[in-house]
Amino acid sequence: MVLTADQRSARVTRAIEATVSGDTSAVGELFTADVIAWSPSLTVMSRVELAVELEDHEEAFSEVEVETGPFVSAGDRVCAEWVATATHSGRFVLDGGRWANPTGRRVTLRGATVAEFDGDRICAVRHYWDEIELLSELGVLPAR
């Protein structure tokens, strides 16, 4: 199935929302079985690995709001800028088995995503954001 640019943009938006919120409910619909996904906090090589990683962050943030756009499409790629705002309401897993306890803080994360499609599903996705800024907002690092 070939998607329109608007349909692809909608799928990229859902992928961004899933990444920020830890929502695994649409992983099967959005991504190919052999999806390659990268972000500052993860690298995975399959839909199963992606779902496991998202589950680790599922309860870290609530009241997630994502604004996306503009979208740029070229061939099978879609790029988008986005701003996500969420409440830090659960344990956030850090490297090395550490975590940040919930703070109740409202945090904002700005980023960009590049997604590549194979038919109607995303086969590769790269999310870029400033991990240091996020950790500062969570109080794990000193404010910049």
CA 94, CA 76: separation in Å to the nearest integer? 33
Flag whether 142 is in a domain: no
The residue segments making up the domain with residue 64 are 5-137
CA atoms in the 13 A half-sphere facing the CB of 61: 25
Q: Residue 72 falls within a domain, yes or no?
A: yes
Q: Structural domain tally of the chain?
A: 1
Q: What's the CATH number where 68 sits? A: 3.10.450.50
CA–CA separation, 107 vs 59, rounded Å? 15
Residue 144 lies inside a defined structural domain of this protein: no
Q: What is the pTM of this model?
A: 0.90
Q: Would 23 be classed as within a structural domain?
A: yes
Residue-averaged pLDDT of the chain? 92
Q: What is the largest CA-CA distance in the chain?
A: 48
Instruction: Tell me whether residue 70 is in a domain.
Output: yes
**Alpha-helix residue ranges (DSSP H) falling in the chain:** 5-21, 27-30, 47-56, 131-137
- Asked if residue 143 is part of any domain, the answer here is no
86-98 pLDDT, tens per residue? 999 998 887 777 8
CB-based contacts of 48, cutoff 8 Å, min separation 6 = none
pLDDT value of residue 144: 64
Tell me whether residue 121 is in a domain: yes
